[in-house]
């Protein structure tokens, strides 16, 4: 299995309804983040992904709490999904995310499939050109700038 990376951002857009539908802009394109990565437009391939338990805990065996689709829109990577409200973990995660509101951020687990490095203003940055995203999840603290 390839190394899995996680990248977290404060959401630029966040919508949550009573039925458990969630829409969040979880990554901004063309911005150097705190990990010295810059994600280029086209890096995110539209696909369906699970929503991991809070803080990526599904990687450690916690059941997923939702599912949805990722895509790029207007300079952002967007997750449009739904909490699994018919499950205990889905309902609990929904209520936690609702209560935390703007005190939380969002993240994604990924494997870079295409990238390069360059130096800008004396800083080496990684240009992320292609990503295989495995999941999106709410987290406490992210890496994003300007999101």
Euclidean distance between CA atoms 21 and 79, whole angstroms:
11
- pLDDT recorded at residue 101: 86
- pLDDT recorded at residue 4: 63
Q: Which residues of the chain have pLDDT under 70?
A: 1-13, 142-147
- pLDDT recorded at residue 40: 98
- pLDDT recorded at residue 147: 40
CB 38 within 8 A of CB 125: yes
Distance between alpha carbon 15 and the CA centroid of its chain, in Å?
14
Residue that has been written with the tokens 């292609």 in this structure: 130
Compute the Cα dihedral for 82, 1, 55, 23 and give only its sign: negative
- pLDDT recorded at residue 10: 52
- pLDDT recorded at residue 144: 57
- pLDDT recorded at residue 146: 41
CB 50 within 8 A of CB 57: no
């Amino acid at each position: 299995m390839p190394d899995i990376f996680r990248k977290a951002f404060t959401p630029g857009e966040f919508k949550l309804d009573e039925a458990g539908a969630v829409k969040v802009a979880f990554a901004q394109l063309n911005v150097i983040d705190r990990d010295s990565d810059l994600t280029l437009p086209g890096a995110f391939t539209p696909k369906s992904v699970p929503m991991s338990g809070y803080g990526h805990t599904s990687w450690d065996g916690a059941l997923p709490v939702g599912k949805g689709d990722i895509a790029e829109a207007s300079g952002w990577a967007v997750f449009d999904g739904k909490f699994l409200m018919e499950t205990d973990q889905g309902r609990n995660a929904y209520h936690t995310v609702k209560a935390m509101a703007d005190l939380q951020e969002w993240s994604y687990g990924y494997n870079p499939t295409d990238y390069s490095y360059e130096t800008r203003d004396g800083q080496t940055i990684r240009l992320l050109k292609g990503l295989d995203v495995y999941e999106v999840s709410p987290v406490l603290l992210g890496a994003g700038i300007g999101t």
